A and B are shown apart, each in its own frame.
Chain A
Amino acid sequence: MNDHIISFQERMDTAEFRVHHQAHIVVDGKVCADCSTRECVIACPANLFVPTSDGGIVFNYEQCFECGTCYIVCNREGAISWHYPEGGHGVVFRRT
Chain B
Amino acid sequence: MSTPDVDVVVVGAGPAGSCAAIVAARAGLSVVLLERGPFPGSKNMYGGVVYPRILDGLIPNWWEEAPIQRWVTRRSTMLLTDTQALTVDFRSEAWGQPPYNGATAFRPDWDHWLASHAEAAGAQLLTDTTVVGLLRDAGGAVTGVRTDRPDGDLTARVVIACDGVNSFLAKEAGLYEHTDAKHFTLGVKETLALPKEVIDERFAVRERHGVDIEILGGTGKVNGGGFLYTGLDTLAVGVVLKLPKLAAQQQRPEQIIAGLKQHPAIAPLVQGAELKEYSAHLIPEAGLTMMPKMTMPGMLVAGDAAALCLAAGIWLEGVNFAMASGMYAAEAAVEAVQKGDTSATGLAGYQRRLSDTFVLKDHRKLRRAPELVLSDRVQHLYPTMVANVVERMFHVDNPNPKPGVRRILDQERRKAGVRRRDLLRDGWTGFRSFG
Contact = CB atoms under 8 A, between A and B. Distances in A.
Q: Do A and B bind each other?
A: yes
A65 interface: yes
B244 interface: yes
Nearest to B188: A45
A43 B282 CA distance: 11
Contacts, number: 127
Which bracket fits the contact residues of B? 35 or more
A42 B246 contact: yes
Residue from A1, A8, A10, A12 having most chain B Cβ neighbours under 10 A: A1
B130 interface: yes
B108 interface: yes
Contact of B254 (A1, A8, A90): A8
Given A42-B251, A66-B43, A73-B244, A87 B166 contact: no
7 contacts: A14-B277, A67-B280, A67-B282, A69-B280, A92-B37, A93-B42, A95-B108
Nearest to A8: B254
A14 B278 contact: yes
Q: Interface residues of A toward B: which range?
A: 35 or more
A93 B48 CA distance: 13
Interface of B: 36-39, 41-45, 67, 69, 106-109, 112, 127-130, 132, 147-149, 165-166, 168, 179, 181, 184, 186, 188, 243-244, 246-254, 262, 267, 271-272, 274-282
B127 A68 contact: no
What are the nearest 5 A-B pairs in CB distance?
Answer: A88-B128, A39-B247, A45-B280, A87-B128, A87-B130
B275 A68 contact: no
Contacts of A31: none
Nearest to B245: A43
Interface in A59-96: 65-69, 72-73, 75, 83-88, 90-96
Given A67-B280, A93-B277, A37 B247 contact: yes
Contact of A69 (B44, B109, B168, B282): B282
A68 B165 CA distance: 9
Nearest to B276: A14
